[in-house]
């Protein structure tokens, strides 16, 4: 207990914070909520590394006039109507709550969650942890594979918040966990469990990761290598032959070359190569979102079936499942060593 002299400003110390940071989500599917979200996201110089003057004109002209409607339609397909929010927000909140329960034996640890874009903002949650007495905070970007456009920008936002604080907490960051044994095990358990629910055997399993412009890779971004290693370790863990589990990259936009092979093109071509039963897994996403629930589970399913495919299924992201929370628990406990 702190005994303070008369007139001393009150403060709390002695707690440890764990902040899960996810990408973010619009607050609604209509034009203006989508526009606000897309403007924040697409104004990020970590995400769009093109001439800023030219991009400002394109963004505030064509893109923000047309894309909110298209993106809003995609979100509408997967929206959590019960809570009136996107699944990403529902799942991230649940991950934090379940992780907190798993860490109940560490009474000084407080778990919270925030978003890089949208609500709740990262800065607000860092301040909330500090107000509760957290003088040490572990930042956990929920991206297994590192990229400047995901992990780095999430941490940038946290550091921006720290710049405004007179009394900063000590900070640690969770490193990319693409090859962490706990992560590979959670993916393996998830894939194996899903296979057991099917009454058919997939001809091919596609591991689909979010795309990245090739220029970013050539500039030194390690994302591609880490995606490939995740897929290789998962295949080895399940004893799958190399040709059984293949890697593709999704969510490409614009005219620039991105990491290949492209998911859309690959899925469209597979039936002509004799692949009639396809299973997809998305090991780069910690929780289901518009890219997995709409782009893959709806869009790529339609592509596959229209091209002649017969059976299609998608393994859910790790989300707030037991293997996922066990993984988060193992990673957090390791990173808190010396603090607890």
Block means of pLDDT (10 residues each) for the chain, 340 residues, are: 71 92 97 97 95 94 94 97 98 98 97 98 98 98 98 98 97 98 98 97 98 97 98 97 95 91 98 98 98 98 98 98 98 97
Q: State how far the Cα of 124 lies from the Cα of 133, in Å rounded to an integer.
A: 15
Please state, in angstroms and rounded to a whole number, the distance separating the CA atoms of residues 195 and 313: 10
- Please name the helix (run of DSSP H) or strand (run of DSSP E) that holds residue 246, with its range, or none: strand 245-250
C-alpha span between 23 and 119 (Å, rounded): 10
Looking only at the bridges linking them, the beta strands covering 204-210 and 277-281 are parallel
Looking at residue 13, its pLDDT comes to: 85
Q: Please tell me whether residue 339 adopts helix, strand or coil conformation.
A: coil
Question: Is 194 known as a binding-site position?
Answer: no
Residues 325 and 286 sit within 8 Å (Cβ to Cβ): no
Q: Residue 138 has what pLDDT?
A: 98
**pTM of the predicted model, to two decimals?**
0.94
The beta strand positions in 90-237, using DSSP E, are 109-118, 134-141, 170-173, 204-210
Distant-in-sequence, close-in-space partners of 87: CB < 8 Å, separation ≥ 6: 78, 79, 80, 287, 288, 289, 293
Considering the domain 181-314, what is its CATH architecture? 3-Layer(aba) Sandwich (3.40)
Asked if residue 115 lies in contact with residue 85, where contact means CB atoms within 8 angstroms, the answer is no
Half-sphere exposure of 18 (CA within 13 A, CB side): 29
pLDDT confidence of residue 5: 76
Which residue, among 282, 307, 279, has the nearest Cα to 295 in the 3D structure? 282
| Helix locations, 164-198, DSSP H | 181-195
Q: Phi first, then psi: what are they for 289, rounded to 5°?
A: -155, -170
Task: Tell whether residue 8 is among the known ligand binding residues.
Answer: no
- Which strand (E) or helix (H) includes residue 288? none
CA-nearest of 48, 51, 25 to 37 is 25
3-state secondary structure of 132: coil
d(CA 183, CA 318): 9
User: Residue 2: what pLDDT?
Assistant: 60
């Amino acid at each position: 207990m702190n005994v303070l002299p008369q007139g001393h400003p009150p403060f709390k110390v002695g707690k440890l914070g764990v902040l899960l940071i996810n990408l973010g989500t619009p607050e609604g599917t209509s034009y203006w909520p989508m526009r606000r979200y897309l403007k924040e996201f697409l104004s990020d110089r970590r995400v769009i590394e093109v001439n800023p003057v030219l991009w400002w004109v394109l963004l505030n002209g064509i893109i923000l006039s047309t894309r909110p409607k298209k993106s809003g339609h995609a979100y509408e397909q997967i929206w959590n109507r019960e809570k009136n929010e996107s699944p990403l927000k529902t799942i991230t909140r649940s991950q934090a709550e379940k992780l907190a329960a798993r860490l109940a034996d560490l009474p000084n640890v407080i778990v919270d969650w925030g978003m890089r874009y949208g609500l709740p903002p990262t800065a607000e949650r860092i301040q909330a942890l500090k107000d509760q007495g957290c003088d040490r905070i572990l930042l956990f970007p929920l991206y297994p594979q590192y990229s400047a456009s995901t992990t780095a920008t999430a941490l940038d936002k946290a550091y921006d918040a720290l710049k405004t604080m007179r009394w900063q907490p000590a900070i640690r960051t969770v490193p990319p966990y693409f090859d962490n044994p706990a992560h590979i095990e959670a993916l393996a358990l998830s894939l194996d469990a899903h296979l057991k629910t099917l009454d058919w055997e997939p001809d091919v399993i596609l591991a689909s990761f979010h795309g990245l412009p090739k220029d970013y890779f050539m500039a030194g971004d390690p994302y591609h290598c880490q995606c490939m290693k995740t897929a290789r370790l998962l295949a080895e863990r399940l004893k799958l032959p190399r040709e059984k589990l293949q890697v593709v990259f999704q969510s490409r936009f614009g005219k620039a070359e991105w990491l290949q092979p492209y998911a859309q093109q690959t899925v469209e071509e597979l039936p002509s190569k004799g692949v009639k039963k396809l299973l997809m897994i998305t090991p780069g996403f910690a929780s289901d979102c518009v890219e997995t629930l709409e782009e893959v589970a709806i869009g790529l399913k339609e592509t596959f079936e229209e091209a002649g495919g017969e059976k299609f299924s998608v393994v859910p992201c790790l989300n707030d499942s037991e293997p996922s929370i066990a993984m988060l628990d193992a990673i957090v406990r390791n990173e808190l060593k010396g603090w607890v």
